[in-house]
Structure 1
Amino acid sequence: MVDVYSPQAIWGRELRHYRQAVGLTQAQLAQKVHFSESLISGIETGQLPASPEFAQCCDEVLSTGGALQRLLDWRKGQVFPSWFGKWRDKEQVATALRTYQPLLIPGLLQTEAYARTVLRGNVEAVAARLDRRGILTREDPQPPIFRCVIDEAVLYRPIGTAEVMREQLDHLVAVVGPRLSVQVVPHGMHSGLLGGFVIATLEGGSDVLYAETAVRGITTSDVEDVAAAIERFEAIRTEALPLTMSPRTDQEDGGGEMDLNTARWRKSSFSGDNGGDCVEVAEVDGGPEHKSGRLIAVRDSKDPNGPALFFTPEEWKAFLLGVHAGEFEPTP
């Protein structure tokens, strides 16, 4: 339902006023300005935004003295597109957020440099996006639980320079914690190829969906749409790598950062002695979420301060069996 008091709807009523004042129907105005009748109808009812070109044509045909173009000045003070404002309001009060993104790092997790590249240097838009991130670090009320799933391609898509990507990926790992998780869906066919979306859970348990399209985002609380999105999110999440193989810096339930420096590292028997790849493994406390209470950490011995991968003992055993069976040998 259109907000009849939104600036966009008020602008549409002004267009209708000037059109009727000169005795033109929507069809007649469409012929004179060379825009479709359906577009004019949508603009007059506040359902569609008017472009500056459209306003200029209408000013000339309706002899308004440039009034319609001047009335578009309200947009200059608008940081977010009109269709995004409704979602931002929901996002700000959400108690939980679930998102799947196939193309870019989710906006709430973007660094300033990454966001600047995506938004093509729009200073106001970048500042607004960074301001949205405040919900993840607020103290009262507590931050929403944030569950993110991203396509693996997002990690390899070069947005800006190599330094921009390095900073963004480091940030992605650093923000993971008990209330924020990031999982990665491997390359290939999966349930998330139809597009990105976000589900906000509000106080009281109701859910709202934000779905992206080629031209704008859509916010809806339609029960069937929301249910379909939740079902799709869970399907995508089951196809994603486990949390132990996705970006992670701490124990999900423990909340403290893993101290890998005190772990007893040993060189894997699959590392070469000829200066090639050197892999180290260590057993670390996996927290109460794991039945065994242990995880296997794997890192490059030449870069002890670099990232580490984590496997459950079962996953590590399966990996070693695969190595023994030659499943990971390079193809000629």
Structure 2
Amino acid sequence: MVHINVLDPGASPLDYYGYELRRKREAAGLTQKQLGQIVNYTGSLVGQVETARKLPTQEFSERCDAALGTDGLLSRLVGLVLRSQLPVWFQQVAELEVRAAEICSFESGMVHGLLQTRAYARAVLGALDKKQLDDRTEVRLARQRILEVGDEPPQLWLILGEAALYQDMGAGTSQIMHEQLDHLLGYEDSPQVNIQVLPFAVGPHAGMTGPYSVYRFPSDPPIVYTEGYGQGHATANPDTVKDCSLRYDHLQAAALSITDSARLIRRVMEERYGGHPVA
């Protein structure tokens, strides 16, 4: 007799996803191996996802939806699943990103998570801890879908400290950074994603106390989010929001224009990391 793990679909988003995948697969009359062959994954991986032992990816979900005729069910669920795998203290900001109409963020030393490439995200996340690095990277990249889906994705304003353009990312730095900077350049003409570089030459500036983000919503008060080691803090305190908004205005005024920022990013990419933008 084959013993099948019985999942409680209410235990977690991952359990619910596995439950629905198994239910839809069995309704289609397919074994795990047969579904795996159709979607170009192993039957073993299908089984691990069904039993909540492996995180599904967006690609896996889209392929299974197509194979099982689920009308996008798994593709809709996977975002919730991946967000649930974020550290508890960070799940709040992921929800803010989903709800926001506008995100204004200042990052002094690294590229914002919403704009990181896979290799860059992997290098950042693996700096001290390489456990479950593939899954953690997938979870981070899943956040970026808010910029691609939905009727009204958020408007993203990013002020990036020039230091982030030069940060060594360990083995393969040139390739990782060339790809990352080229990715940023891909937003040069985007009306939705706006990137400005705060140059070294500015000297002391309004963001010296550290990175932060301001989230604005269609009908709720704005929220300021700051982050430390292993913890985050969100507040709607009007005085804090007013102060951080004013600081952001000053940072935008001190930063290079969007056009000049792209010019600097391109120059650093070509001179420091070699080559030309990837077509």
TM norm. shorter chain > 0.5: yes
Shift of 1:88: 1.1
Aligned residues: 179
The within-5 A match list for 1:184-223 is 184-187=197-200, 188-204=203-219, 206-223=221-238
Question: Under a length normalisation based on structure 2, what TM-score does the superposition of the two structures give?
Answer: 0.59
Which of residues 213, 224, 228 is equivalent to 2:243? Answer: 228
Indicate the residue corresponding to 1:292 in structure 2. none
Structure 2 unaligned runs (5+)?
Answer: 1-82, 264-269
The amino acid across from 1:168 in the alignment is Q
Compare CA radii of gyration and give the structure with the larger one.
Answer: 1
Distance 1:127 1:305, change over 3 A: closer
The DSSP-based 3-state class of the residue aligned with 2:262 is coil
Q: Secondary structure at the match of 1:246?
A: helix
- Tell me the equivalent position of 2:175: 163
1:183 equivalent among 196, 207, 220: 196
* Corresponding position of 2:184: 172
How far 1:206 sits from its partner (Å)?
Answer: 2.2
Q: CA deviation at 1:306?
A: 5.6
- Match of 1:195, SS state, is coil
Runs of 4+ in 1 over 3 A off after TM superposition: 303-307
| Distance in 2 (alpha carbons) for counterparts of 1:90 and 1:169 | 26
Q: What is the alpha-carbon distance in structure 2 between the residues aligned to residue 305 and residue 125 of structure 1?
A: 30
> Does 2:122 match 1:107?
no
Match of 2:10 in 1: none
Query: Structure 1 residue 215: deviation in Å?
Result: 4.1
- Given the alignment, which residue of 140, 156, 174 partners 1:146? 156
Residue identity matched to 2:119: A
SS in 2 for 1:247: helix
- Between the two structures, name the one with larger relative contact order (CA 8 Å, sep ≥ 6): 2
| Corresponding residue SS for 1:117 | helix
Q: Indicate the percent of aligned positions where both proteins have the same amino acid.
A: 31
Alignment RMSD (CA, Å):
2.6
Contact 2:89 2:230 in 1 (8 A): no
Residues 51-100 of structure 1: CA deviation (Å, up to 9, x unaligned): xxxxxxxxxxxxxxxxxxxxxxxxxx962121111121111111110000
Q: 1:305 to 1:203 in 2, by over 3 A?
A: same
Letter in 2 for 1:236: L
1:90 alignment partner in structure 2: 96
User: Are 1:79 and 2:85 counterparts?
Assistant: yes
Q: Secondary structure at the match of 2:191?
A: coil
Q: Could you tell me how far apart the structure 2 residues matched to 1:219 and 1:128 are? A: 21
User: 2: CA distance between counterparts of 1:119 and 1:213?
Assistant: 15
Aligned to 1:12: none
TM-aligned CA distance change 1:102 to 1:178, over 3 Å: same
**Residue 126, structure 1, aligned to residue 141, structure 2:** no
* Structure ranking higher in helix proportion: 2
Q: Is the 8 Å Cα contact of residues 198 and 251 (structure 2) preserved in structure 1?
A: yes
- Amino acid of the structure 2 residue aligned with 1:127: E
Change in CA separation of 1:305 and 1:166 when aligned onto 2, cut-off 3 Å: closer
Q: Normalising to structure 1: TM-score of the pair?
A: 0.50
Hey, what's the Cα distance between the residues in 1 that align with 2:86 and 2:276? 40
CA distance in 2, matches of 1:190, 1:143: 30
Equivalent-residue separation in structure 2 for 1:125 and 1:305 (angstroms): 30
Alpha-carbon distance in 2 for matches of 1:211, 1:234: 17
Return the alpha-carbon distance in structure 1 between the equivalents of residues 151 and 224 of structure 2.
22
The one-letter code matched in structure 2 to 1:116 is: R
Q: Is the 8 A contact 2:199 2:256 kept in 1?
A: yes
Match of 2:25 in 1: none
Output the amino acid matched with 2:196. Q
